[in-house]
Structure 1
Amino acid sequence: MAEDQKEHGGIPRATFVEDVDKFMAETHNESAEKVLQEMDEQHQKYKFMELNLAHRKKRLLTQLPDTKSTLDIVKLLQSKQNTTEPIQTHFLLAEQVYGKAAIDPTDKVCLWLGANVMLEYDLEEARKLLESNLEAAKKTLKIVDGDLDFLKDQYTTTEVNMARIYNWDVKRRQSLAAKGST
């Protein structure tokens, strides 16, 4: 079980309740309401985890094109490194506002690392860094997708368990009422 949680970002596995009578007997005669409340809390935790993973996926999906575009620019600068003519380009100043620029050939580039930090890199170092960042983001995206799929299975299992226990409790109450009326 610990390895399974390790594989899926610490998400606990929901156990399917095969035999509701046996399960309820094993809960030391706790009321169905209390068991349903505990399952509902677990369900809410799964939904919260899903929300966090969805936000993480959205950030990664935004990061991937930005990193790819930056990598393409670094590769272009590398290809023009040994020429003498400047590169003509347009760059984003603000949303929907672009400026025109002529970039002289260079062997250095500055990259934003985040948290208001920018570092200067050689073109080859920048290319390697961006390629590794791109691969890491793709790998993380696959992991997040797998965790989301696993999480959906877990909260679906929890929902099914809740419905089965609720139905079991309704039947139990009906049979108690029938016994009480006879």
Structure 2
Amino acid sequence: MEANPRGIPKAPFVENVEDHVSEQEPVEIVLRKFQEAVAKYKFMEVNMLQRKRNLDAKIPEIRKTLEMVQFLQSQASKEDETKEIETLYELNDTLYATAKIQPTGKVCLWLGANVMLEYPVEEAADLLKTKLESALKTLKNTEEDLAYLRDQITTMEVNTARVYNWDVKQRRLARAKAETESKE
């Protein structure tokens, strides 16, 4: 079965409904399978949208942290290491405080799960660049997967409509045939 690079299966397009529906697989079973496939694709889409939202929130934070580390890196590399840096830092969403800091060549980064580690400024900058590149790549892949999933959902919905319409047509033909036979 075909799939995209991250393993999401490709939805088959039903060219000829008669070939797809048979005695072994009546219309009701085919429609149920199609509806299950649509539900699976929509479940994947919801998960991808959540991942995208998380990345959309995470990437600006990584960028902001990287900019700050690069600023500290530039300050630490100047000759006058005794000069203090006056800055505002965020205590809460709308609350800031003023601080004077001495460049030390080290910085502490939150890694997640309530873990903070101290890094040399250069190592922290490299780590943040790597995290940013990874997050941007994951965001790109997630956006590609979302577009792919939308295509697969559309394909399965079209398949469902085609099979349903074919079934309605077959029932009408059978009813018309039964009516003409009963008149004879």
- Tell me the TM-score normalised to structure 2 length: 0.92
1:21 maps to a residue whose letter is: E
2:108 maps to a residue whose letter is: C
What's the counterpart of residue 61 of structure 2?
66
1:73-132 per-position Cα deviation (integer Å, ceiling 9, x unaligned): 011111111432111111111121111111111111000000111111000000000000
The answer to whether 1:20 aligns with 2:17 is: yes
Query: Matches of 1:33 and 1:160 in 2, distance apart?
Result: 16
- Tell me the TM-score normalised to structure 1 length: 0.93
Report SS of the residue matched to 1:59: helix
Query: Matches of 1:43 and 1:61 in 2, distance apart?
Result: 26
The answer to whether 1:38 aligns with 2:36 is: no
Query: Matches of 1:95 and 1:61 in 2, distance apart?
Result: 18
RMSD: 1.2
Larger Rg: 2
What's the counterpart of residue 159 of structure 1?
157
* Structure 1 portions without partners, runs of 5+: none
What's the counterpart of residue 54 of structure 1?
49
Query: Matches of 2:25 and 2:169 in 1, distance apart?
Result: 17
Percentage of pairs with the same residue: 50
What's the counterpart of residue 86 of structure 1?
84
1:12 maps to a residue whose letter is: P
Query: Matches of 2:40 and 2:84 in 1, distance apart?
Result: 56
Query: Matches of 1:30 and 1:173 in 2, distance apart?
Result: 17
Superposition deviation, residue 31 in structure 1: 2.1
Report SS of the residue matched to 2:21: helix
Superposition deviation, residue 30 in structure 1: 2.1
Report SS of the residue matched to 2:91: strand
What's the counterpart of residue 106 of structure 2?
108
Superposition deviation, residue 71 in structure 1: 0.5
Superposition deviation, residue 151 in structure 1: 0.6
Query: Matches of 2:133 and 2:142 in 1, distance apart?
Result: 14
2:120 maps to a residue whose letter is: D
What's the counterpart of residue 138 of structure 1?
136
